[in-house]
Structure 1
Amino acid sequence: MDEITSSPAPDGSRPAGPAPTRDRSSRRAALWATLVAVPVTAAVAGFTFASLAPTEPVATPSPSASTGRTQSVAPVEMPVPHLAERPATVCRALVSQLPPSVRDLNQRPVTAGAEQNAAYGDPALTVACGVPPLTVCPSPAPGASTEQPADGCIPATGDVWRVNGVCWYTAQESDGAVLTAVDREVPVRVGLPKAYEQPLQWIAQISDAIVATVPSAKSAPSGCSS
């Protein structure tokens, strides 16, 4: 078989053939393939690492510590008047429905009468069920002083306030405020020390318990009708 060989050029060099062109094209294609493959490989590796990495748990806020008032847990001394059967039954129902706390004041034990008395916080906010009822004071005689009403009555000009469906009369005393529910079959009295400002802001939860357990009175001061 004859062997085909290329003849040298007149200057002694070999003639240029198509092979070098193919070599350059191949090298250029290989270079582009490498340039494209490197970032793709890096991206795939990064995605794979992220997929295999453990998922970090979502942080949830931990409950904050209570910021309630520091208070004594000693029993609060309260009077225990004798109650007839009907008021005693109503008062037991009321006490059973009182909240465990009034705003940020936790309930405290009482020395006696737990079936008709309750106390909260330190100094103690007190709740007494079955207290003597308040009535509207009689009109004073002409020329008589109206500055000091008789004990156990509401001045004709005295303000009453409705809080969550209960009508309260507020009296200021030397050591704080006394609020009495005056539109209920069995009167309820709340004593608030001076440390607790704006007395009406403290009785909403107590009013709710009264509405649920203490029937309305047949009559009430005129200011309670609104």
Structure 2
Amino acid sequence: MNNDQTARPGRRSPKTVATVVALPIALLAGFGFFQAMRPATEPAPAPSAAPQAMPTTPVAMDAPALNERQTLVCRALLSQLPDQVRDLPRREVTAGHEQNAAYGDPALTLACGVPAASYPPTDDVITLDGVCWHKGGGAWTTVDREVPVRVTVPSAHNEQLLINFSKTLIATVPHAERIPVGCGTRA
């Protein structure tokens, strides 16, 4: 019999002691390693106090008469708009289904074929994600597109929602012949 196999009352072999000590340390180290290496996850959104009910009534919007070219461009734009902008679902509108869209409550609205923005030359124009806008009268209006588009963003929503329309505007509404100073170059 060797020393490891001799039974001594009240004493454990050095191998047993090493195993009893090393095993929990190895498990903790492995757990820590896997926690450090796992991909970061986004925190779960905090549950709202109460679910928000979306009105089922259409959003009241005007529908000015459009010429043939404006109608074609606006229909192309509206056909490519998303069903939802961030967490705002698309809603029905009272008029101009081929030129108007609305999202959420209070409604963020988009109107295609509106009059061109009129503003002093000293006002700033802002290029957001490739589209040039002028802010005035509580709305943002494109100033670099063949057919002007106006987006009204209620104060309850972030104005950065405008960029959700940029790619669709660029793809469906051609540049205007004259681009205002400050809008940058044509894309």
Task: Return the TM-score normalized by structure 2.
Answer: 0.70
How far apart in 2 are the matches of 1:112 and 1:66?
37
| 2:111 is the alignment partner of 1:128 | yes
Match of 1:81 in 2: 64
| 2:55 is the alignment partner of 1:70 | no
| 2:139 is the alignment partner of 1:178 | yes
CA RMSD of aligned residues (A): 3.4
How far apart in 2 are the matches of 1:33 and 1:126?
84
Find the residue that maps to 1:205 and give its secondary structure: helix
1:190 to 143, 147, 151: 151
* Structure 1 contact 71–122 (Cα < 8 Å) conserved: no
Relative to structure 1, the CA distance from residue 71 to residue 116 in structure 2 (aligned partners, 3 Å threshold; closer, same or farther) is: farther
Unpaired runs of at least 5, structure 2: 8-40
Deviating above 4 A after TM superposition, structure 1's stretches of 4 or more consecutive aligned residues are 32-35, 64-69
Match of 1:109 in 2: 92
How far apart in 2 are the matches of 1:67 and 1:85?
48
Match of 1:40 in 2: none
| 2:152 is the alignment partner of 1:218 | no
May I ask how many residue pairs the two structures share in their alignment? 158
Match of 2:131 in 1: 166
How far apart in 2 are the matches of 1:121 and 1:128?
15
1:202 to 161, 167, 180: 161
Identity, % of aligned pairs?
50
Within a 5 Å distance, the mapping from 1:94-105 to structure 2 comes to: 94-105=77-88
Give the aligned residue type for 2:69: R
Match of 1:90 in 2: 73
Within a 5 Å distance, the mapping from 1:133-172 to structure 2 comes to: 133-134=116-117, 153-172=118-137
Q: Which structure has the larger Rg over C-alpha atoms?
A: 1
* Structure 1 contact 167–181 (Cα < 8 Å) conserved: yes
